[in-house]
Amino acid sequence: MIHSLFLVNASGDIFLEKHWKSVVSRSVCDYFFEALERATEPENVPPVIPTPHHYLISVLRHRIYFVAVIQSEVPPLFVIEFLHRVVDTFQDYFGVCTEAAIKDNVVVVYELLEEMLDNGFPLATESNILKELIKPPTILRTMVNTITGSTNVGEQLPTGQLSVVPWRRTGVKYTNNEAYFDVVEEIDAIIDKSGSTITAEIQGVIDACVKLTGMPDLTLSFMNPRLLDDVSFHPCVRFKRWEAERILSFIPPDGNFRLLSYHVSSQNLVAIPVYVKHNIIFREGSSQGRFDLTLGPKQTMGKAVESVLVSSQLPRGVLNVSLNPSQGTYTFDPVTKMLSWDVGKINPQKLPSLKGTMSLQAGASKPDENPTINIQFKIQQMAISGLKVNRLDMYGEKYKPFKGIKYMTKAGKFQVRT
């Protein structure tokens, strides 16, 4: 199935490669580099690139491209899901998934990739199993391995590998028993000139951190489960129970894992949490233009809109800008024509605004279209879809665990057209 894996950094250099079958030449990545050059943005590289003898399937995470080389036709989503699992495993082991972290732990990386795929087919992808097979690196363990020449590979077969619940190891014990769930929603939207919503959808995930003794059986119910569409579950979830009762019933893995991901696409269900008032004017034959922008919260149920960052790609005819922000700071790059405004937190009593003039090229014609405005933001303790957890119950164990639920909404591709 998967012949080889190449890791490509933001500069376009291959800094790590792994082959499971025959060695595939690095030159196969030339097709990927051609697609990368044609892409307007890094994330716009096609996920599947056919070549005369191979298929290249890639994902972009943490500014690193993970490029898998396939010789026979396979379901692309199968490979993409595996690549995301590789990234999540690296993040779990090293804390971050960066080029530096991968290079610093290159031995552990190769050991993990050897266990995760067997002759090109996925074998052990569960974090619990991998951590028993290959111990996560620590400073002490690294020093001992350097002196003794030993490796991080465990000597015994993981207990979960032969179990009916392979995602959970046996004999788990904790002094403090706790289960935390994070409901994180990302809103993608395009707003037109008049403020109407052209398209809006929500991608949501529920991430869990479960540290419970023994073999607990959990049920998680929602106030409004019918909101959820196109749901993807962790293998631990009993799907029949969800279909019948819309209740999540599962024996959780030990530690961090993604319980489910979902999609909300019906526009009447998607609330837009911020609005933008804009007045961007370019006059024909004039050397000056006007730039007025005001942000405000909308449908946030009283929650604060934080970490707001506004960016806009101005036309090539703009030489410079002279703007006055009522809040935060702005930067303008005269070469790339990229305007960025770091707003911070929106105060509903005093709405942040950015106003001023643009210096335009003398004699330049009026731009064909006004620039689009991209907005990044976060809203704590709120799920924009209205999803709410009703209750979390535990069976099979006698102790009472500490339970916590946290909500967060953030912007994905949130674009306002002017």
**pLDDT tens string 136-160:** 877 666 666 666 666 666 656 555 5
pLDDT of 270 reads 84
Give yes or no for a contact between 129 and 31, defined as CB atoms under 8 angstroms apart.
no
- Do domains 1-146 and 176-268+381-414 share one topology? The answer is no
Look at phi and psi of residue 181 and say left if phi exceeds 0, alpha if psi is from -120 to 50, else beta: beta
Tell how far CA 341 is from the center of its chain.
23
Architecture label for domain 1-146: 2-Layer Sandwich (3.30)
Q: Measured between alpha carbons, how far is residue 123 from residues 24, 114, 115 in Å?
A: 22, 9, 7
pLDDT of 361 reads 84
Distance CA 108, CA 101 (A): 11
pLDDT of 176 reads 94
3-state secondary structure of 14: strand
Distance CA 76, CA 363 (A): 51
pLDDT of 168 reads 84
Q: Measured between alpha carbons, how far is residue 277 from residues 188, 297, 347, 354 in Å?
A: 19, 11, 16, 11
In this prediction, the residues of the chain whose per-residue pLDDT falls under 50 are: none
Per the listing, tokens 């000597």 go with 155
| CATH number of the 176-268+381-414 domain | 2.60.40.1170
How do the domains of the chain map onto residue ranges?
1-146, 176-268+381-414, 273-378
pLDDT of 153 reads 65
| CATH number of the 273-378 domain | 2.60.40.1170
pTM of the model: 0.83
Distance CA 57, CA 282 (A): 43
For 134, which DSSP code?
B
Distance CA 266, CA 87 (A): 31
Rounded to 5 degrees, what angle do the CA atoms 356, 360, 365 make? 130
